[in-house]
């Protein structure tokens, strides 16, 4: 993520701020322009028709509705179709934390020029989110919400926004990393697989890289949960779960690609500049826009030394590693596939990545 300055006093502000802590200006973020603007009063940007997202008061969404959009919701919130009962304070807080992570996802999707709709798109297979909690019935049964993707619909159980519950799930599943942003980056990969790979010529290259996704998905998952990952899985898969099925491998790799590009953007913004992997290679500050590089190796050569430095920083504070993963040459090839897929998409939508309906 890049750094932001208050448009009034130039003090640094953060992506989630709706007010400048230094001068008190009320602020809103315009996602398509990637900029913060000053707001007059509660409803809009000074001298323009911009409106704040209707979720601003409810969950502190600081995004503005897009110019010309009929929706009262910002670009991120309008993709959410189902939310929990907001009269329940805890549920509302959990939903708010999920939306905060989701705005970071949308920030990246916009930067990557990946296709999105600026108005709610109810057509079959369109991208949308259901952020819901488990429900207890009077008969004592509990209706559980399963996190996952189906035909454009991404469901996330809002309990994951509770740190203690998420940590418990992480430990039970033996995962080194579990975060809300990670869920969004993973699940949205399934949507883009449907949109950019299914039924397209690129599917054979995808199968060569990740394996044949036509193998039975539920059987594969059952086998994974019964037996765990195969021996030496680290050579081929970025996470143990990636070994469960080619779809999950693609989603985990895609999520890592987002981790890498987002992390590099942040490192550049804050002047972090570890030595590159190969002596003489360009240093990180010379990398232009990590969302638009031609060669994925440009990213990897900066990412690996950055993660070594960041892990050392975390260890110096006695907390878990920043990036508890190892990128093998085979995983790097998979990251190249994701990179090339996004580059081709960027070239095809150079003019207008967003469709307004
Ligand atoms: Zn200010
Ligand atoms: Zn919003
Ligand atoms: Zn998945």
Which tens digit of pLDDT belongs to each residue from 288-297?
A: 899 999 999 9
Question: Of residues 274 and 356, which shows the higher confidence score?
Answer: 274
Task: Give the separation between CA 331 and CA 329, rounded to whole angstroms.
Answer: 5
Percent of the chain with pLDDT over 90: 82
The tens digit of pLDDT for each residue in 176-199 reads: 999 999 999 999 999 999 999 999
CA of 292 to the centre of ligand 1 (A): 31
Residue 284 confidence (pLDDT) above 60: yes
150 forms bridges with which residues in the sheet?
153
CA of 281 to the centre of ligand 3 (A): 35
CA of 282 to the centre of ligand 3 (A): 35
CA of 271 to the centre of ligand 1 (A): 22
Task: Give the separation between CA 143 and CA 27, rounded to whole angstroms.
Answer: 40
The tens digit of pLDDT for each residue in 129-142 reads: 999 999 888 888 88
Residue 41 confidence (pLDDT) above 70: no
Q: Which ligand is nearest to the CA of 147?
A: 3
Q: Provide the pLDDT for residue 357.
A: 46
CA of 10 to the centre of ligand 1 (A): 6
Question: Average pLDDT over the chain, rounded to whole?
Answer: 92
The DSSP letter of residue 27 is: E
195's CB contacts (< 8 A; 6+ apart) are 115, 125
* pTM score above 0.85: yes
Give the other-Cβ count within 10 Å of 121's Cβ.
Answer: 17
Q: Which ligand is nearest to the CA of 36?
A: 1
Task: Give the separation between CA 38 and CA 25, rounded to whole angstroms.
Answer: 7
Report every protein residue that has its C-beta within 5 angstroms of ion ligand 3. Answer: 248, 251
For residues 332-349, give the mean pLDDT: 95
**Token pair belonging to 130:** 């259901």
What phi and psi, each to the nearest 5 degrees, are found at residue 45? -75, 140
The tens digit of pLDDT for each residue in 61-77 reads: 999 998 888 899 999 99
Task: Give the separation between CA 266 and CA 262, rounded to whole angstroms.
Answer: 6
By CB atoms closer than 10 A (0-12, 13-18, 19+), residue 136 is exposed
The tens digit of pLDDT for each residue in 289-328 reads: 999 999 999 999 899 999 999 999 999 999 999 999 999 9
How far does Cα 134 stand from its chain's mean position? 23
CA of 23 to the centre of ligand 2 (A): 24
45 forms bridges with which residues in the sheet?
39
Residue 254 confidence (pLDDT) above 70: yes
Q: Which ligand is nearest to the CA of 103?
A: 2
CA of 53 to the centre of ligand 2 (A): 5
């Amino acid at each position: 993520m890049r750094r932001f300055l208050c448009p009034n006093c130039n003090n640094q502000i953060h992506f989630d701020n709706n007010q400048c802590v230094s001068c008190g200006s009320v602020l809103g973020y315009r996602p398509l322009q990637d900029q913060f603007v000053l707001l007059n009063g509660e409803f809009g940007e000074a001298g323009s028709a911009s409106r704040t997202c209707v979720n601003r008061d409810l969950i502190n969404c600081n995004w503005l509705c897009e110019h010309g959009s009929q929706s009262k919701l910002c670009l991120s919130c309008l993709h959410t179709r189902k939310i929990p009962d907001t009269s329940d304070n805890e549920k509302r807080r959990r939903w708010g934390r999920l939306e905060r992570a989701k705005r970071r996802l949308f920030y990246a999707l916009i930067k990557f020029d990946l296709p999105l709709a600026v108005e709610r798109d109810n057509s079959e297979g369109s991208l949308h989110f259901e952020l819901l909690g488990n429900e207890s019935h009077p008969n004592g049964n509990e209706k559980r919400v399963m996190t996952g993707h189906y035909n454009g619909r991404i469901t996330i159980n809002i309990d994951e926004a509770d740190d203690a519950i998420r940590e418990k799930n992480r430990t039970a599943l033996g995962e080194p990393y579990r975060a809300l942003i990670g869920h969004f980056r993973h699940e949205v990969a399934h949507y883009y697989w449907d949109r950019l790979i299914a039924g397209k010529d690129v599917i054979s290259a995808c199968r060569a890289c990740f394996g044949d996704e036509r193998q039975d998905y539920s059987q594969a998952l059952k086998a994974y949960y019964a037996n765990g990952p195969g021996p030496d899985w680290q050579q081929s898969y970025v996470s143990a779960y990636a070994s469960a099925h080619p779809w999950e491998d693609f989603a985990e790799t895609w999520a890592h690609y987002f981790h890498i590009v987002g992390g590099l953007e942040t490192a550049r913004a804050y002047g972090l500049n570890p030595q590159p992997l190969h002596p003489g290679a360009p240093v990180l500050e010379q990398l232009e826009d990590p969302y638009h590089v031609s060669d994925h190796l440009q990213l990897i050569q900066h990412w690996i030394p950055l993660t070594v430095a960041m892990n050392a920083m975390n260890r110096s504070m006695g907390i878990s590693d920043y990036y508890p993963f190892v990128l093998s040459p085979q995983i790097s090839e998979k990251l190249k596939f994701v990179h090339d897929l996004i580059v081709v998409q960027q070239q095809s939508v150079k003019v207008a990545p967003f469709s307004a309906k």
